[in-house]
Amino acid sequence: MAEFAWHEGPVPAGMPVRQVHGWLADATGRVLVQDRVHEQRFLLAGGQCEAGDLDWSATLLRESREESQVRVVGDSIAYLGHQVVTGDSRRPGPYVQVRLFGVIEAFGPPAPDPDSGHVYRRLMTSIPRAAELLAWGRAGDQQSRAALRAARRLGLPVDQPAPEGYA
């Protein structure tokens, strides 16, 4: 069974980064979680780095457009930390999953993800509720606290967000 250890420091040299995901907030203080109905789970927007991505921010910007049809303010993106994954039977490890924070500036109409063909519902909810829905345990709770700090630094109303709903 895979294990996840959260770290807020830099990614260790030589450790492969397999995925980049983002805690993406709107102006009302809510964050986006993908409701992947076909998989019966929730996820953050993000995915694998591709050859054309200049950096992790570019990966997040591209994946957010492709999967969730949201445009993120490029200069709002901040590094939150990473989790080291060990014991993943599908991929040799250890490896890293990077977590970033960003602000959503616009929502496009829902469309299929080019990689999977699925349309992911966009649930906008509070950061603590997102952590609950993601069900990532301690590592998820630690990430959500880092996301709260980042959102507060930007002045987003995360302590009194708008009501939960689909966008």
User: Which residues have C-beta within 8 Å of that of residue 146, sequence separation ≥ 6?
Assistant: 8, 80, 81, 99, 101
Over the stretch 51-69, which tens digit does the pLDDT of each residue have?
999 999 999 999 999 999 9
Mean pLDDT of the 86-112 span: 95
* Cα–Cα distances in angstroms (integers) from residue 38 to residues 81, 116, 119, in the given order: 29, 11, 9
Whether the model pTM is above 0.75 = yes
Whole-number pLDDT of residue 91: 86
**Do residues 29 and 156 make contact, with C-beta atoms less than 8 angstroms apart?**
yes
pLDDT digits (tens, 9 = 90+) for 64-85: 999 999 999 999 999 999 999 9
pLDDT digits (tens, 9 = 90+) for 1-43: 899 999 999 999 999 999 999 999 999 999 999 999 999 999 9
Average pLDDT over residues 112-135: 97
Which pLDDT score, from 0 to 100, does residue 20 have?
98
User: What's the rounded Cα separation, in Å, for the pair 59 and 19?
Assistant: 9
Both tokens assigned to 22: 């983002």
Q: Six-digit token pair at 84?
A: 């080291």
What pLDDT sits at residue 92?
Answer: 81
Q: Answer whether 53's CB lies under 8 Å from 62's CB.
A: yes
